[in-house]
């Protein structure tokens, strides 16, 4: 029975991971969450983990007597102690808040099922250097596109390019003028996936795909010229790899994150599950170009071109903009404009340290707050 540690247990990926763990009969040894007290308590009572970490100070203080009464070890830092007894860490925290856990898990030589794409976006170069040093550690992607590429990626020398698919989000067919006034309720209606708020807004701005370009760049050690994005509204083809002889391998499946989570948890095996199966009859698969008005993907290629800490600025400025948009403080199209402004204002650091990435993350978020309040 595989021992799993789940970070971000109360989120969309977190709760689906719990379903997968149950389905596969794995053991949940520890979990972490931030502020969802009710769901956190429910999960603790149901799964009886040995260790719980709660990052929100207020929630943590409140739940200490509850954890003590159950004799569960606890902390408010989702770091070393929580990962000690596990074979595999699932990082399903949202945003750059997940970076330190990824770093810590690598340093401890753990296998990491990584949903937190922001870790790789903010500090991909550093993470790859750490993986070089800690040979036992591995990252297995949960993001469906990267899981697809991982499953189709054989001999790197023979790979011509990868093709990331994007659903196009809820505004794919909207007039540009109408998109300007899109509300957060409209942006939160993703056509194919039910996900956390931040990634749903990122899917509407195509910033999710922009982050995924950077995630793929570091995960598969590609050049930026080897990464292409195509819109595929049905979200059935999760991504593709084109080889130098012109043949293309694609991975298909129903839009159900439990499949990608299960693959990361069971690799190199494929275990039986009762998740959604794909039914081809009556399905039409279509592909189209990304609309030019959406600038996010261009910004991600620019961040890769600039290198150093620029991807961290793109990520942090976007996180702050999404928060502002969800609070009704900026408009939908302001997101891409403000992210670009933050990138223009940043003096990148090429060979950054972890401390410098964390500083840059703070700087870019403050840049957005100062500009918008």
Binding footprint of Mg ion on the chain (CB under 5 A): 143-145
E strands in the chain: 3-7, 27-33, 51-54, 73-75, 88-91, 111-114, 138-141, 159-166, 227-231, 237-243, 248-252
Q: Which does 10 bind (CB under 5 to 8 A by kind): Mg ion, ligand NDP, none?
A: ligand NDP
311: contact with ligand NDP by CB under 6 A: no
Burial 293-311 (b: 16+ CB within 10 A, else e): ebbbbebbbbbbebebbbb
127: contact with ligand NDP by CB under 6 A: no
4: its two tokens: 């799993």
Q: How far is the CB of 217 from ligand NDP (least distance, A)?
A: 16
Cβ distance to Mg ion smaller for residue 64 or 194: 194
Distance CA 306, CA 138 (A): 27
Give the interface segment with ligand NDP, choosing from 113-121, 153-161, 235-243, 365-373 (CB under 6 A).
113-121
128: contact with ligand NDP by CB under 6 A: no
Q: How far is the CB of 314 from Mg ion (least distance, A)?
A: 17
219: contact with ligand NDP by CB under 6 A: no
Q: How far is the CB of 347 from ligand NDP (least distance, A)?
A: 27
94: contact with ligand NDP by CB under 6 A: yes
Give the interface segment with ligand NDP, choosing from 196-204, 278-286, 306-314, 364-372 (CB under 6 A).
196-204
Distance CA 2, CA 4 (A): 6
Query: What residues does 140 pair with on adjacent strands?
Result: 113
Q: How far is the CB of 212 from Mg ion (least distance, A)?
A: 6
Distance CA 133, CA 323 (A): 36
196: contact with ligand NDP by CB under 6 A: yes
12: contact with ligand NDP by CB under 6 A: yes
Burial 264-274 (b: 16+ CB within 10 A, else e): bbbbeeeeeee
> What part of residues 252-291 is at the interface with ligand NDP (CB under 6 A)?
257
What lies within 8 Å, CB to CB, of 226 at 6+ separation is 159, 160, 161, 162
Closest listed residue to residue 34, CA positions, set 26, 43, 45, 23: 43
323: contact with ligand NDP by CB under 6 A: no
Among 63, 89, 143, 339, binds ligand NDP (CB under 6 A): 143
Secondary structure (3-state) at 61: helix
Secondary structure (3-state) at 26: coil
96: contact with ligand NDP by CB under 6 A: no
Give the interface segment with ligand NDP, choosing from 90-98, 103-111, 166-174, 223-231 (CB under 6 A).
90-98
Distance CA 121, CA 140 (A): 15
Q: Which does 192 bind (CB under 5 to 8 A by kind): Mg ion, ligand NDP, none?
A: none
Distance CA 16, CA 18 (A): 5
88-91 vs 73-75, strand pairing mode: unpaired
Give the interface segment with ligand NDP, choosing from 105-113, 175-183, 188-196, 234-242 (CB under 6 A).
188-196
Q: How far is the CB of 371 from Mg ion (least distance, A)?
A: 29
Residue nearest to ligand NDP (CB): 11
53: contact with ligand NDP by CB under 6 A: no
CB 6 within 8 A of CB 142: no
162: contact with ligand NDP by CB under 6 A: no
Distance CA 103, CA 108 (A): 9
Q: How far is the CB of 209 from Mg ion (least distance, A)?
A: 8
Cβ distance to Mg ion smaller for residue 145 or 361: 145
CB 71 within 8 A of CB 98: no
> Which residues bind to ligand NDP, rule: CB under 6 A?
8-14, 33-36, 40, 55, 92-94, 97, 115-118, 143, 193, 195-196, 198-199, 257
């Amino acid at each position: 029975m595989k021992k799993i540690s789940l970070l971000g247990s109360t989120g969309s990926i977190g709760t689906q991971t719990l379903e997968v763990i149950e389905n596969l009969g794995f053991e949940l040894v520890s979990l972490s969450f931030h502020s969802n007290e009710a769901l956190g308590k429910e999960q603790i009572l149901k799964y009886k983990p040995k260790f719980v970490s709660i990052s929100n100070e207020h929630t943590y203080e409140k739940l200490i007597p509850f954890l003590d009464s159950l004799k569960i070890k606890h902390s408010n830092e989702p770091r070393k102690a929580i990962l000690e007894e596990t074979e595999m860490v699932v990082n399903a925290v949202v945003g750059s808040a997940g970076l330190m856990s990824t770093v810590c898990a690598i340093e401890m030589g753990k296998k990491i099922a990584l949903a937190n794409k922001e870790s790789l976006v903010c500090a991909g170069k550093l993470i790859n250097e750490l993986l070089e040093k800690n040979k036992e550690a591995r990252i297995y992607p949960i993001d469906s596109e990267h899981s697809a590429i991982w499953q189709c990626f054989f001999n790197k020398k023979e790979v011509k390019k990868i093709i990331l698919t994007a659903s196009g989000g809820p505004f794919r067919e909207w007039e540009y003028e109408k998109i300007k006034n899109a509300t957060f309720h409209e942006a939160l209606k993703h056509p194919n996936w039910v996900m956390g708020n931040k990634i749903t807004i990122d899917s509407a701005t195509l910033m999710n795909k922009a982050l995924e370009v950077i995630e793929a760049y570091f995960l598969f050690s590609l050049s930026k010229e080897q990464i292409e994005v195509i819109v595929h509204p049905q979200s059935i083809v999760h991504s593709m790899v084109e080889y130098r002889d012109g043949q293309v391998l694609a991975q298909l499946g129903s839009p159900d994150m439990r499949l990608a989570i299960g693959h990361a948890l069971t690799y190199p095996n494929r275990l039986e599950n009762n998740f959604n199966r794909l039914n081809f009859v009556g399905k039409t698969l279509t592909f189209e170009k990304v609309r030019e008005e959406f600038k996010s993907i261009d910004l991600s290629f620019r961040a890769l071109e600039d290198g150093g800490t620029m991807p961290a600025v793109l990520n942090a400025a976007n996180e702050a903009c999404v928060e502002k948009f969800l609070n009704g403080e900026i408009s939908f199209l302001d997101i891409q404009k403000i992210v670009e402004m933050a990138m223009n204002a940043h003096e990148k650091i090429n060979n950054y340290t972890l401390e410098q990435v964390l500083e840059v993350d703070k700087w870019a978020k403050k840049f957005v707050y100062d500009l918008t309040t």
